[in-house]
Amino acid sequence: MKNRRHEAILEIITEQPVATQELLITLLGERGIKTTQATLSRDIQQLSLVKQRDENGVYRYSLPAAAAAEKSLFEEAVISVDYAMNTIVLKCRAGMAQGTCAAIDSVEHQGIVGTIAGDDTIFILVRSEADAKKLSKKFRSELFPRR
């Protein structure tokens, strides 16, 4: 349930501005995820979310240290990394691909043209095979640092 809730939180804050925990609890409820304020506070801390001003000057939850959140999600969600030509494929635990993909999208990785996620698979289109090899190696080193 925690993984599903974390994924939903990341999806919600990337889709729309969310300024309060109360609004986030409501939006989670609309997705069928009931939670308490205390649990949500822990989730916000675990996901490293902060309130920042957006381009309109409105405070909203966001991934400031997006790379740290991405790494945390990777460690929890991604099972394998592979590439073919200029496409990287990340296999994830069931239900975790979309939240992980949102974290990837929040970090500017050089060479990424676009991403798409299903339930347990993420496709990342990059500009060249060299970019795919380089980014795949980076992802693997974050996931499996001792290999």
pLDDT of residue 68: 52
pLDDT in tens, 32-83: 999 999 999 998 888 778 888 777 778 888 876 555 555 566 778 899 999 9
pLDDT of residue 69: 53
**CATH among 3.30.70.980, 3.40.470.10, 3.40.50.1260, 3.30.1360.40 for 75-143:** 3.30.1360.40
pLDDT at 116 over 90: yes
pLDDT of residue 25: 95
Q: What single-letter amino acid sits at 93?
A: R
Mean pLDDT of the chain: 85
Report CA-CA distances (Å) from 32 to 14, 28, 87, 100, 119. Answer: 18, 7, 34, 20, 17
Angle between helices 66-77 and 2-15 (to 10 degrees): 140
The domain ranges of the chain are 2-62, 75-143
pLDDT of residue 70: 57
pLDDT in tens, 1-16: 787 898 889 889 888 8
CATH topology of domain 2-62: Arc Repressor Mutant, subunit A (1.10.10)
Rounded Cα distance between 105 and 28, Å, is 21
pLDDT at 104 over 60: yes
Q: What single-letter amino acid sits at 88?
A: I
* For residues 114-121, average pLDDT: 94
